[in-house]
Amino acid sequence: MFFLLMTYFTSVTLPPPESYTAYKAERPIVVDGDLSEWENVPYVEVNYDIEKMKRVDNIKTFARVLWDKENLYISFQCKDDEPWATITKRDGFLWEEEAVEVFIDPKGDGARYVELGVNPLNAVDDILIIRKPKYRWLLNWNLFDLKTAVKKKKDGWDVEIAIPWWNFLSFEVPLPPVEQTWRIQLCRVERPDHKTPIWLSWSPTYQTFHKPETFGKVFFSSRQDAHP
């Protein structure tokens, strides 16, 4: 309790939110876990330890974002000698094991946002989180026609995600968001001993991923060139 009170009353200074440009895919991404289509796409590193409040270099995670007129695409490349998960059902609490997570706030006002998790067994959890006017987690909310794939390799596991834009209609924003900016956070939960979590984010945050004011800023460029 003392720690929680200190966290509440202590002022935390973070670097500004990270920014990323998501380019338009030249063709629809085949969601099969093979990241060869992503080789020339700029990446970000998901390596900010939200408890130590600093970037770490001992756990490597690379994430990328693309889009086309139908889908938002996200990939993760997770270096890991022993990917670990036991949950196979949808909407299990994937963050209690190992997983990657995406947080999406299309309007950028922090009032509501989507949480999506994928684990090494390709299990999925998707949640709509409402913060205003009353805080609620809608655990039975689903992203429809969602596609995910996981491919395990000798040095880790790769994830591909495709989310149809129409899942965001209720946010009343332009879809697809051409030349628009969304607030998005990219995260990973790693448990080297299968117990103690290491919480990693792309854009700096602290104590929890659930701080939409710290989500990164993703600009959806109309350019198809993957090189800035």
Q: Which domains does the chain have, with CATH numbers?
A: 22-220 (2.60.40.1190)
pLDDT above 70: residue 4 = no
In this structure, which amino acid lies at residue 51?
E
pLDDT per position as a tens digit, 60-76: 999 999 999 999 999 99
- Give the separation between CA 67 and CA 78, rounded to whole angstroms: 21
- pLDDT for the residue 79: 97
Instruction: Return the percentage of the chain with pLDDT > 90, whole number.
Output: 89
Does residue 62 contact residue 215 with C-beta atoms inside 8 Å?
A: no
Please state, in angstroms and as integers, the Cα–Cα distance from residue 75 to each residue in 29, 67, 111, 173, 190, following that order. Answer: 11, 11, 26, 23, 17
Confidence band of 12 (pLDDT split at 50, 70, 90): confident
Band the pLDDT of 226: cuts 50, 70, 90: low
- pLDDT for 99 equals 98
Average pLDDT, the chain: 93
Does residue 30 have a pLDDT over 60?
yes
Q: Per-residue pLDDT tens for 86-139? A: 999 999 999 999 999 999 999 999 999 999 999 999 999 999 999 988 889 999
| pLDDT for res 225 | 63
Query: Pick from 130, 143, 151: which is nearest to 32 by CA?
Result: 151
Convert the pLDDT of each residue in 178-219 to its tens digit.
Answer: 999 999 999 999 999 999 999 999 999 999 999 999 999 999
Question: Nearest Cα to 214, choosing from 75, 14, 7?
Answer: 14
Strands (DSSP E) found in the chain: 19-24, 44-45, 48-49, 54-55, 61-67, 71-79, 99-105, 112-118, 124-130, 136-138, 147-153, 156-164, 181-190, 198-201, 216-220
pLDDT of residue 174: 97
Whole-structure pTM over 0.85, yes or no?
A: yes
